[in-house]
Structure 1
Amino acid sequence: MNIQSRLDLDEFVDNFKNYFARTKDISMLGDDKRHFEYINELAKYDFILPTHTQDLTDTINRLTKFATLDSSSIFEIVKIIRYFMYLKSTNFSNLLNTWFSKILIPKELLDITYFFDTKKPEFKDDIDPKLQDIASSISRLKRDIISTYEGILQSSNLREYLIDRQIYYIDNKECLLLRGGFSNVLKAKVISRSSTGYFYVIPDKIKDITNKIGELTLKKEDILFEYRKTISKTLNKHLLFVKYINKEFDIFDHYQARVMFAKSKNLEFILPNRKSKKVVLNSFKHPALKSAVALDITLDSSIMLITGVNAGGKTILLKSILGAVYLASFLLPLPLNADKSDIGYFKEIVPILDDPQNIKNDISTFAGRMVEFSKLFNKQDILVGVDEIELGTDSAEASSLFKSILDELSVHNKIIVTTHHKKLASLMSSKDNVQMIATLYDEKNRKPTYRFLEGTIGKSYAFETARRYKIPSHIIDNALLLHSKKEDNLNHLIEKNIELETDLKKKKGFLNKELKQVNKLKLQLLTEKKEQKQSFESLISSYQTKYQKAINEAKEAVKQKSSKDIHKQIAVANASLSKITQKNQENKNNQKNTEFKVKDIVKYRNTKAEILSIKKNKILLSCEGMKLSVSPDDISKSHSKEKPKSIISYEKPKNAFIKLDIHGLRVNEASMQIENFLNDALLAGLEEVYIYHGIGSGILANFTKELLENHPRVVSYDDATPSMGGYGATVIKL
């Protein structure tokens, strides 16, 4: 049994193979990183899939020997050439376009593609006048056959011999079904008899016409043979290119099959990390399970020891980790969250899962296991999975033996082990390079949860499992009486330990979430403080410049000789001071206007609104039936205490646009522009708008998406399509 079967991946892989244009193995030769880049790039496009194509190995071998190919073999090569002509004409990105532009198809081979029908392996008649004449003659003769049959069927002499008026096909020949005695009225040849004793016959008139068609067909074949002969010579001349394009087609077939399989099953790609031996799976589901619980697990130690409830998912966890590594090694898409997952690179995957007992070879279960382990000691950088390691021998001796084996193998390899050996688990739990994983059991509902807890030893729940699988109660009760008090106390301690670990895990998760939120707020406050400081410094510098200018103008006035000039310069200085004073007064008025409270009635543009909440520099308004998030500078106090009524009609802004460009803006500047932009769009009744923030370091992009996430009127948002800006733009549904 191969690795694929042992890990229960046969059905998944076979399903994937159906997406190939032609049958092949799932492995790809070459640079995995390069393949990964092409696959991800191709996944961004919609394209026409290649049609089913035959393997060209035999065809290429025949060309090597200067054989004349048949029409079907030539057509398979034509299909590949035509498909690459399509790919070269498609508007792909630089990566794919560079690849396809390097494939230079010789003109002689391009000419061959015009000889064939688009879907069938047949030469077109219009490539040669002789073929056109023959095709025209055959069509005319076929019409003659139809008219001749119509005349025969209408004959009154033949009517009593006709079984029916149908035209039958026997051995691909048109014929009639007649009763005996028909020879008195019709000259014809019997070609078969029906089960009821009637005769299938071809009238002589029809036979003469079919003979003519046969002669024309032979002439056509002679002409086509010459074409096939010439084409075969041309293909032989360009044999190296045929081999090359055949190989390139296989590579593209690997890519498109993976892309289409991933899209159809909602799967994701992950590139094995050759610098790591760590395995992190997030939201992974084993493909063989129909309703699996999403798995989050990290293998970052040399040994992972899985203990716990029977039929609780220990083997599933083992096969999931090995299966994910196996599929990722072939760049096959996986059912997981690729952004939060990481899969290291291993030279080999070794699953030791089955009972190796073999009567014919005189191998016991334990002996078979020892044979499998003995093959591993000279290997490095491999991933080993062992299911039920204690299988086949005394548990006390096995614990010491397997601890020693695992210690040796873990020096250069990663090992995942499932076991019910509490002694082995106890011996291994004190080691720094061992992860302890326990499968959890639902005591209340008396069934496994198929979830896992890290850092503890799990209880087997053998009696509970036996009861779940309908073992008679009196048998289980007797077993409980035989079970030692010491073992029972140990199991009780294990249960308490699991409960404490579970509770601590929940609290840790809650605290981590709170800490993340606090750090986020802290960072936001520091950013705002820094921006305000810069703003104040800029404002002070501006005022200092203006005051200095006014002073200089006053001094200049004193130097003037004439009273008229003095008064003129003083007037200029007073004007400058007046502007500064006026600006300060406006700032004071604005500061007063920003002293708002919840439920205040304010004026927003030409509309009255009610304040719903105030958060830092953002105010949430209820404005004419809509919720708007605005800056305090955009509103002023209203003297009216009456709450605004929600009405359908409102004045749409004249400056509403569907696009906003915030390239080069600071976060606070971008925030105000985005809020005003969204408010205008909402008032204008727009349902979809675009914000262009660019890619850069990602600060503006992340800030934009964070703001959209918390906006009350944003339905959804996503990266724009490549034609609309790709990752450098965000499309928003309102």
Structure 2
Amino acid sequence: MDSRTLTLLDYPKVLELLSHHAFSLAGKGACRELMPCTSQDRLSHEVGLLQQALAWFGETGHVFPAFPELDGVLAFVGQPAAILDKDGLWAVFRMLETAKTGRDAVLDAPSKRFTLLVDAADQVTWPSKTWSGLKRCMNSEGELKDESSPGLYSVRQEMRSILARCTRKVHDFFGDKDVLSFLQDEFLTISADRYVLAVKSNFKGKIKGIVHDFSQTGETCYIEPLFLVELNNQVRDLKQEEREEERKVLTLLTDLVRQEAAGIREMYDWLVMMDVLQAKVRLAASLDGIVLHMEPGAPLALKSARHPLLALQGNAVVPVDIELEPDQKGLIVSGGNAGGKTVSLKTLGLIALMARTALPVPVAPESRLPLLDQVFVSMGDEQSLEESLSTFTAQIRHFARLWPHIGPATLVILDEFGMGTDPSQGAALAQAVVDGLLERDSFVAVATHFPALKVYGLTKQQVRAASVLFDPRTKKPLYKLVYDQVGASQALDVAREQGLDASILARAEEYLLLEGGDTRDIFNRLNALAESKEKELDRLKKREAVLEEKWARRQQRFERERAELVKGLEARSQEIVRAWRQGRLGRKQALSKLAEARKQIAPAPRESTTRGFAWADLAPGKRVVYTSWDKSAVVEALDQRKKRVKINAGGLAVWVGIEDLAPDRPATAKSPGYTVNSGQVAGSLMRLDLRGMRADEAQARLESFLDSAILKGGCELEIIHGKGTGVLKTVAHEVLQGFPGVQSFALANADEGGDGMTRVVLE
């Protein structure tokens, strides 16, 4: 990627802001060094990691705290004779401690949902020997524990014993004397590895001994009493032994680090990677950004895009839609100065770079972006005084360097390309450059004031024209793009706002009229129409959002009420069935009560475009559907005077109105097996397959099936129990013999299954 392009698009500034979200110095440094991925596989992997990290950090709330940098430590330990000091080993220990906590948390995540994160943590080699050694030898303060070695333990025990003897000697020496008045501190302290007393300087003659030092203020002197000299000599020797023992421990621990340096490096690199991912997740929250996939062949469509730097700085950014039709590759933006042309193009370029780096970007979720390998930028003001180059010359030289590297997966951004020379020649050159880029199948975005290039944008098939929008009343920019039209440059309006003398502006307008070039009225009219259209679109979008929210709320309320109603109906139905099975209700009474309960959720009658029944259409024996129950029925009698029809629905005869009837549904093929649902047609054949079940399971399943069949108005049933040992057949027949509502049952004919199936007829 061209480094000059990265700078022009402020990519390094984004990385700097990203680094502020990392916790460790190593993570901050890694954030600053991020570059766009050079391969599609690498990009897909990084995007997948970021998506999983967003979900994992959001769900767990885990935080990877700061940890020490280890680059210097690992480089130092690579020297054969090097021995790490306590600070170096403490840095390794803290890093491993942080890594272990984080790694365990990642490995606890569901591997199917967080495959990439779990795999990355699982593939890292854990330096178990180093971890065990450091954990055993170092305490929470970074010091070596007494238990690090037998020799160190022995020396320190002896030193503690001497300290106790020194303390007793001090107390014995002073006895009951009032010495606290001239001691600065009543406790022993250490100076140059020797136990001394802190005495106020004006009382130093009160104690016989050796003066070792004075405080910076001179108010305190440190005196070694003569009675402690011999013990201090022993302490000095023990201190030397302690340092030797510590050196042995440090040498041992350094050897462990050296042996597992590769694993420690892997662990360190993984931890830095997780800190960078953590920074990306925090950046996404700051940006209110999303993960944007770059898809080969996808159209360029950034919805509600905001410039990342402006969004991160907390500015109120007006979102802009930057989009091309599927068959378009070029965008030419025109319009007045300070209207947002350059910001729009920089927004496109910077978002493309961030997406290629697997960084979250501030766009709407429905945005799409083609797979772009490279992004190149050529800005209008390329002047170089050091190289004695004019604006035009410097711009052309820079573009000439880029030209050989431009290909099909390239985005080229040209801001005021061709300026600094004759306008007609500059415009012609700009059109030729855009033609060449389109021939290479590149994407190109251009900001221009050239009239010829504006016309080119309206007439070229692969190019789309756009204009920045201004408020028609105040002439202030609205920082929006409107498509398929061009805009005026409004140079005179800008000059007027900047305070240019009115006489100069009046003369400029005269020259403009003389040249026949004043098209401001036309462009103002177009701008006003576009502004009106944008307002209407915004209003409709807001209205649509409000309606969608209302619909969602009503849908939630409907589902909640429906669930409560169904739950209540199920409870009522179960109560009726229990009463029927206990003999407290007859079969017809139970069916009647169930029908009344079902009416509570029966759909309200709806107007239909199909013609209903006339009296001439009805006759005894005709099959119809009773819409209130959604059941098939048979007409038994007609009462023309009362306009009532007697029907039989699953054995239950009722008088209903003609408006409650509909034509019978066409018969549908039965699906094999047993399925009970509310749409089962009354009178249809129902089947239950008991094969493969245990006896108790088959009994419970058959009783439940019979209950459902009776409630649904079923008349004929088939029970498949198979031949086998005959146990299931025996269980089935025992249930059928004592079950209320069963009129008769018998084994099926030989061609229908014979002994393997029983046919049942309900009352």
| TM-score of the superposed pair, with normalisation by structure 2 | 0.61
**Does residue 1:26 correspond to 2:34, yes or no?**
yes
2:390 maps to a residue whose letter is S
- Fraction of identical pairs, as percent: 15
Matched, 1:387 2:459: no
Which one of the candidate residues 347, 365, 387 is aligned to 1:361? 387
* Alignment match of 1:111 (pick from 122, 132, 136): 132
Bigger mean CA deviation after superposition, 339-348 or 507-516? 507-516
Matching residue of 1:41? 52
Moved more, 465-474 or 301-310: 465-474
Picking from 396, 408, 413, the partner of 1:370 is: 396
Q: Which amino acid aligns with 2:21?
A: Y
Q: Deviations over 1:514-545 (max 9, x none)?
A: 99999xx9xx9xxx99x999xx99879x9997
Question: Deviation digits for residues 694-713 of structure 1, max 9, x if unmatched?
Answer: xxxxxxxxxxxxxxxxxxxx
Farther-moved stretch of structure 1 (133-142 vs 393-402): 133-142
**Equivalent position to 1:271, from 285, 293, 307:** 293
Q: Find the aligned partners of 1:580 and 1:217 in 2 and give their Cα distance.
A: 105
2:275 aligned to which of 249, 253, 257: 253
- Rounded to whole Å, the distance in 1 between the matches of 2:516 and 2:234 is 96
Q: Which residue is equivalent to 2:459? A: 430
CA gap 1:282/1:141 in 2 versus in 1, 3 angstroms: farther
1:159-208 C-alpha deviation (Å, 9 max, x unpaired): 79x9999999999999968668955866443646868xx57632124996
**Distance in 2 between residues matched to 1:111 and 1:229, nearest whole Å:** 15
In the TM superposition, residue 434 of structure 1 has moved relative to its aligned partner by 1.8
Give 1:284 shift.
2.6
Cα deviation, residue 324, structure 1 = 0.6
User: What corresponds to 1:325 in structure 2?
Assistant: 352
Q: Relative to structure 1, is the Cα distance of residues 394 and 589 closer, same or farther in structure 2, using a 3 angstrom cutoff?
A: closer
354 and 159 in structure 1: CA distance in 2 versus 1, 3 angstrom threshold? farther
SS in 2 for 1:309: coil
C-alpha spacing 1:272/1:146, structure 2 compared with 1 (3 Å):
farther
Distance change in 2, residues 1:42/1:158 (3 Å):
closer
Letter in 1 for 2:60: D
Evaluate the alpha carbon distance shift between residue 139 and residue 359 of structure 1 in structure 2; reply closer, same or farther with a 3 A threshold: farther
Determine the C-alpha separation between the residues in 1 that align with 2:661 and 2:344: 63
Q: Secondary structure in 1 aligned to 2:309? A: coil
Note if contact 1:16-1:258 (Cα within 8 Å) is conserved in structure 2. yes
Please say which of residues 162-171 and 199-208 is displaced more in the overlay: 162-171
| Matched-pair contact (CA < 8 Å) for 1:157–1:185 | no
Deviations 1:40-82 (A, max 9, x none): 2232232432332344444444444434333333344434433
Q: Distance in 2 between matches of 1:213 and 1:93?
A: 57
Kept after mapping to 2: 8 A contact 1:358/1:364: yes
Measure the CA separation in 2 of the matches of 1:488 and 1:171: 92
**Whole-Å separation in 2 of the counterparts to 1:130 and 1:586:** 105
User: What is the CA distance between 1:451 and its match in structure 2?
Assistant: 1.6
Q: Which residue of 2 aligns with 1:619?
A: none
Residue 464 of structure 1 corresponds to 493
The yes-or-no answer on 1:286 pairing with 2:314 is no
Cα deviation 1:416-440 (Å, max 9, x = unaligned)? 2212222332244321122212112
Pair 1:51 & 2:76 matched:
no
CA contact (8 A) 1:175 1:200 kept: no
Which string of whole-angstrom CA distances, capped at 9 and with x for unpartnered residues, describes residues 65-121 of structure 1?
434333333344434433443245333121244543444635424413423557544
Quick check: 264-273 or 143-152, which moved more?
143-152
Give yes or no for contact 1:189–1:201 (8 Å, CA) kept in 2: yes
Compared CA separation, residues 395 and 236, structure 1 to 2 (3 A): same
Q: Which residue of 1 aligns with 2:592?
A: none
TM-fit CA distance, 1:269: 2.0
Match of 1:415 among 444, 451, 456: 444
Distance in 2 separating the partners of 1:285 and 1:311: 15
Tell me the amino acid that sits aligned with residue 46 of structure 1: T
Matched, 1:315 2:342: yes
1:349 corresponds in structure 2 to 375
Indicate yes or no: 2:222 matched with 1:222. no
Separation in structure 1 between the aligned mates of residue 250 and residue 296 of structure 2, nearest angstrom: 50
Rg larger in structure:
2
Q: Please tell me the root mean square deviation across aligned C-alpha atoms, in Å.
A: 4.9
Q: Which stretch shows the higher mean deviation, 420-429 or 123-132?
A: 123-132
- Against the structure 1 CA distance between its residues 5 and 308, is the aligned structure 2 distance closer, same or farther, given a 3 Å change threshold? same
Question: What is the CA–CA distance in structure 2 between the aligned matches of 1:452 and 1:374, rounded to whole Å?
Answer: 30
Q: Is the 8 A contact 1:437 1:452 kept in 2?
A: yes
Give the Cα–Cα distance (whole angstroms) in 1 for the partners of residues 143 and 209 of structure 2: 36
Q: Please say if 1:71 is aligned against 2:91.
A: no
User: For residues 286 and 51 of structure 1, do their structure 2 counterparts lie closer, same or farther at Cα, with a shift above 3 Å needed?
Assistant: closer
Give the Cα separation in 2 of the matches to 1:353 and 1:431. 23
Question: Structure 1: which 5+ runs fail to align?
Answer: 552-573, 592-734
- State the shift of 1:395 in Å: 1.3
Aligned residues: 554
Look up the match of 2:143.
122
Whole-Å Cα distance in 1 between the matches of residues 648 and 449 of structure 2?
Answer: 88
**Deviation per residue, 1:643-699 (Å, 9 max, x gap):** xxxxxxxxxxxxxxxxxxxxxxxxxxxxxxxxxxxxxxxxxxxxxxxxxxxxxxxxx
Aligned equivalents of 1:383 and 1:259: distance in 2? 27
Q: How far apart, CA to CA, are the structure 2 residues paired with 1:120 and 1:274?
A: 54
The TM-score with structure 1 as length reference comes to 0.63
Distance in 1 between residues matched to 2:630 and 2:291, nearest whole Å: 58
Residue pair 1:442, 1:448 contacting (<8 A) in 2 also: yes
Q: What secondary structure, in the 3-state scheme, does the structure 2 residue paired with 1:494 have?
A: helix
Q: Specify which of 190, 202, 205 is matched with residue 222 of structure 2.
A: 202
Task: Please state whether the residue corresponding to 1:202 is helix, strand or coil.
Answer: strand
- How many angstroms apart in 1 are the aligned matches of 2:203 and 2:651? 124
Q: Tell me which residue corresponds to 1:302.
A: 329
SS at match of 1:227: helix
* Alpha-carbon separation, structure 1, partners of 2:630 and 2:202: 121
CA distance in 2, matches of 1:417, 1:53: 46
Relative to structure 1, is the Cα distance of residues 210 and 348 closer, same or farther in structure 2, using a 3 angstrom cutoff? farther
- Tell me how far apart the structure 2 counterparts of residues 6 and 172 of structure 1 sit (CA, whole Å): 61
| Mapped partners of 1:356, 1:589: distance in 2 | 83
Q: 1:496 to 1:326 in 2, by over 3 A?
A: same
> 1:603: which partner in 2?
none
Q: Distance in 2 between matches of 1:166 and 1:258?
A: 53
Q: Distance in 2 between matches of 1:330 and 1:254?
A: 12
Matched, 1:479 2:508: yes
Provide the residue aligned with 1:93 in structure 2. Answer: 110
Q: 1:638-677, aligned counterparts within 5 Å? A: none
**Shift, 1:511, TM fit:** 8.5
* SS in structure 2 at match of 1:31: helix
Query: Which consecutive unaligned segments of at least 5 residues does structure 2 have?
Result: 556-604, 611-622, 638-645, 663-763
Distance in 2 of aligned mates of 1:267 and 1:144: 68
- The partner residue of 1:580 within 642, 646, 652 is 652
2:750 match: none
- Bigger shift: residues 233-242 or 316-325: 233-242
Alpha-carbon shift at residue 256 of structure 1 (Å)? 2.2
Question: How far apart in 1 are the matches of 2:286 and 2:249?
Answer: 43
- How has the CA–CA distance of structure 1 residues 249 and 447 changed in structure 2, closer, same or farther, with 3 Å as cutoff? same
Contact kept, 8 Å, 2:626 with 2:633, in 1: the verdict is no
Q: Residues 526-605 of structure 1: matches in 2 within 5 Å?
A: 579-582=651-654, 585=656
Counterpart amino acid of residue 365 in structure 1: T
1:147 CA displacement: 9.8
1:39–1:286: structure 2 CA closer, same or farther, 3 Å change rule? closer
* Shift of residue 368, structure 1, vs aligned partner: 0.6
Contact 2:47–2:358 (CA under 8 A) maintained in structure 1: yes
Contact 1:459/1:494 (<8 A) preserved = yes
Encode CA deviations 1:298-348: one digit per residue, 9 max, x unaligned: 1453222121111111111111111111111111122222x2111222222
3-state DSSP of counterpart to 2:529 = helix
- Cα 1:244/1:532, change in 2 over 3 Å: farther
Aligned mate of 1:440, from 453, 456, 469: 469
Q: Residue 402 of structure 2 aligns to a residue in which SS? A: coil
**Structure 1 54/106 Cα, relative in aligned 2: closer, same or farther at 3 Å?**
closer
Q: Distance in 1 between matches of 2:301 and 2:429?
A: 27
